[in-house]
Amino acid sequence: MEKMLYAEALKARENAYAPFSGFQVGAALLTEDGQVYTGVNIENSSYGATICAERTAFVKAISEGHRKFKALAVTAGDEQEALPCGICRQFMYEFSPELEIITGTDEENLNIRTLKELLPLGFRLEK
Ligand code: THU
């Protein structure tokens, strides 16, 4: 499952829009019921309006009605491991603190961590 999701993220990365940083990122998100949503980073001339690949994948899935997720793979290719930024960690924590995060530069050597490991004591409103 991890390798398959990583491969999907790598394929999605081809559509990244990153003319400013040149750092192209792809993500693939596995929903609880087995569907895969991909995402890419989309930069903007107003830099702060940029959205990361992870949030793009989440936004696509959430807007199609999904709320629970099993795993997310994220990749920037073979140069550097793409670890989710702080905003993405908090964004994802809202839905799935136990999410499995798959990262790495090579599908044969993937790093698997839970979102909780990446964001200990994350914030959620008590509803
Ligand atoms: N970026 C992501 O899309 N995901 C990450 O995990 C790390 C950073 C993007 C944001 C920006 O477009 C570029 O990478 C450089 O920071």
Domains of the chain: 2-118 (3.40.140.10)
What mean pLDDT comes out for the span 23-45? 98
User: What is the percent of the chain where pLDDT is above 90?
Assistant: 98
Ligand 1 pocket test, pick from 6, 13, 23 with the greatest ligand atom count within 8 Å of Cβ, gives: 23
Cα of 53 from ligand 1 centre, angstroms = 7
Give, using CA atoms, the residue closest to atom 1 of ligand 1. Answer: 52
39 close to ligand 1 (CB < 6 Angstrom): no
The count of residues in the chain is: 127
Q: Is 54 labeled as catalytic in the residue annotation?
A: yes
Q: What is the pLDDT of residue 110?
A: 98
pLDDT at 44: 98
pTM, two decimals, is 0.96
User: Residue 26 C-alpha to ligand 1 middle, in angstroms?
Assistant: 9
- Residue 69: CB atoms within 10 Å: 23
- Whether 18 lines ligand 1, by a CB cut-off of 6 Å, is yes
Pocket test for ligand 1, best of 6, 74, 85 (most atoms within 8 A of CB): 85
The one-letter code for the residue type at 8 is: E
Look at residue 126 and tell me whether its pLDDT is greater than 90: no
Tens of pLDDT along 81-112?
999 999 999 999 999 999 999 999 999 999 99
Mean pLDDT of 15-25: 98
pLDDT tens profile 79-89: 899 999 999 99
| Annotated catalytic residue, options 8, 43, 54, 100 | 54
